[in-house]
Structure 1
Amino acid sequence: MSTLILSLETSSPVCSIALHRDGQLVGQSELRLEKSHSSHLSLLIQQLLDNTNTTLQDLAAVAVSDGPGSYTGLRIGGAAAKGLCYALDIPLIAVGTLPALAQQVADYTAQAEDVLFCPMLDARRMEVYSALYAHDGREVLAPAPLILDSETLVEQLAHHRLLFFGNGAAKFAPLVNSTNAGFLAGIEPSAIAVGTLAYQAYQRQDFRDVAYYEPFYLKEVHTTTPKVRT
């Protein structure tokens, strides 16, 4: 029996979904509209299922981008994934946004074994969410918030070729003075990469508790109470 996994990537302004069967891409859909996740995610899912002649009942699991990333986007994706898994009684798989982003670049990088991959997601001002990965997905530096300056990752750059990408990498480029640094533009989180890693997680039976799952925000979320007008 084949394994059909629906993957949701809502950690960035791009609303991305993908469908994989036994780890092979069946179909994908993306919407690049600001704040479109809540109003369009369910419609994108149904359209993708219709276009691939599949139904919700065919799904073996739902995977979701786990974060870090947009707080609102992660909440929407997590809620949708949990709702589907609960209603269909199927497993929930969470895939880290940073390792998925690194894997989608590593898959298309020549001599990838000689490179360390550094996804950077914008966390406002001169801060990013980042990590380091080898070409095979091995974690070299764990995900963490980084304050960017001329000393950031200087030790790693002294000994390795590093490839930087993601929507936070551009503000790091002017600070780097190393021939070991490379930068890629236009790389955004994709549900395709989430689905690829999700199938591996499915084979390991690495599932999350549907009732208690929360996204990996990396930093504590601060909320404020609106001021009461007098």
Structure 2
Amino acid sequence: MSYILNIETATKNCSVALAKEGKTVFCKEIAEEGYSHAERLHVFIEEIIKLAGITLNDLSAIAVSQGPGSYTGLRIGVSAAKGLCFALDIPLIAVDTLQVLASKVIISDGLIIPMIDAKRMEVYSAIHTSDFQRKREVLAEIITENSFEDLQETLYFVGDCAEKCKSVLTAKNHIFLENIKYPSAHEMSLLSYEKYKRNETVDVAYFEPFYLKDFLITAPKK
């Protein structure tokens, strides 16, 4: 019996899910403007383990959302996941954040374009088919009125970029599913279990989040 703890902190949503054989047993999450991940994450983990009536020693693996996304959020999630893996001597599984976000969409045809805010008019995005196959790699791109103009299929946009992008992406085949805003650990459950069965794990010591862009520290303005 495989219990996997899934951790998703790449966006404003601090999300934790416990999965059994790929199915979510319990999920706790909260999306707040102030990024409360550091305060909430370990509390959520403890609460979920207690609710399930198991201990951390019953876990078979830890899965973490690998990015792209918030630098701080990713560091918090990955640090927690690594610490648990080291302490419990269990494998670490990395799951693509945009794939997690795309997995929240249920459509019969067309393309899914998950997007995560990267400030100003830039987003982290990918393109997936309706059965969640990757059609285009993850990019950091600036959205303009010409973005995605080569795609004739119906495009379903999800993520936390709707407010700033829907005034630019106005073609008839552009549909914004504004109720799907953040990735969740709930959708990680099946993705991480499939990787677990294929033994697709990462090196706990050397794994780093997929930031996509360098994190720049700038001096405060005088």
The reply to whether TM is greater than 0.5 is: yes
SS at match of 1:222: coil
**Among 190, 205, 209, the residue aligned to 1:211:** 205
Measured in 1, the distance between the counterparts of 2:145 and 2:66 equals: 30
Q: Report how far residue 223 of structure 1 moved.
A: 1.7
Partner of 1:128: 123
Structure 1 or 2: more helix by fraction: 1
> 1:195 aligned to 2:194?
no
Measured in 1, the distance between the counterparts of 2:178 and 2:149 equals: 21
Measured on the aligned residues, the alpha-carbon RMSD in Å equals 1.4
Do 1:121 and 1:169's aligned partners in 2 also have CA atoms closer than 8 Å?
A: no
Query: Structure 1 stretch 169-178 or stretch 85-94: which is displaced more?
Result: 169-178
Partner of 2:64: 64
Runs of 4+ in 1 over 2 A off after TM superposition: 31-35, 224-227
Partner of 2:53: 53
> 1:162 aligned to 2:161?
no
> 1:185 aligned to 2:178?
yes
TM-score (norm 2): 0.95
> 1:9 aligned to 2:8?
yes
Query: Structure 1 stretch 165-174 or stretch 45-54: which is displaced more?
Result: 165-174
Q: How does 1:13-162 map to 2 (within 5 A)?
A: 13-33=12-32, 34-105=34-105, 108-109=106-107, 111=108, 114-156=109-151, 159-162=152-155
Q: Report how far residue 36 of structure 1 moved.
A: 1.2
Measured in 2, the distance between the counterparts of 1:119 and 1:83 equals: 29
Q: Which amino acid aligns with 2:209?
A: P
Query: Number of matched residues?
Result: 220
Identity of aligned residues (%): 45
Measured in 2, the distance between the counterparts of 1:17 and 1:176 equals: 33
SS at match of 1:7: strand
SS at match of 2:203: coil
Which consecutive residues of structure 2, in runs of 5 or more, have no partner in the other structure? none
Cα distance change on mapping 1:144 and 1:54 into 2, 3 Å? same
Q: Which amino acid aligns with 1:205?
A: N
Measured in 2, the distance between the counterparts of 1:171 and 1:35 equals: 20
Q: Which amino acid aligns with 2:145?
A: S
Measured in 2, the distance between the counterparts of 1:32 and 1:102 equals: 18
SS at match of 1:120: strand
**Among 166, 169, 175, the residue aligned to 2:168:** 175
**CA deviation map 1:71-92 (0-9, x unaligned):** 0000000000000001101000
Measured in 1, the distance between the counterparts of 2:67 and 2:179 equals: 19
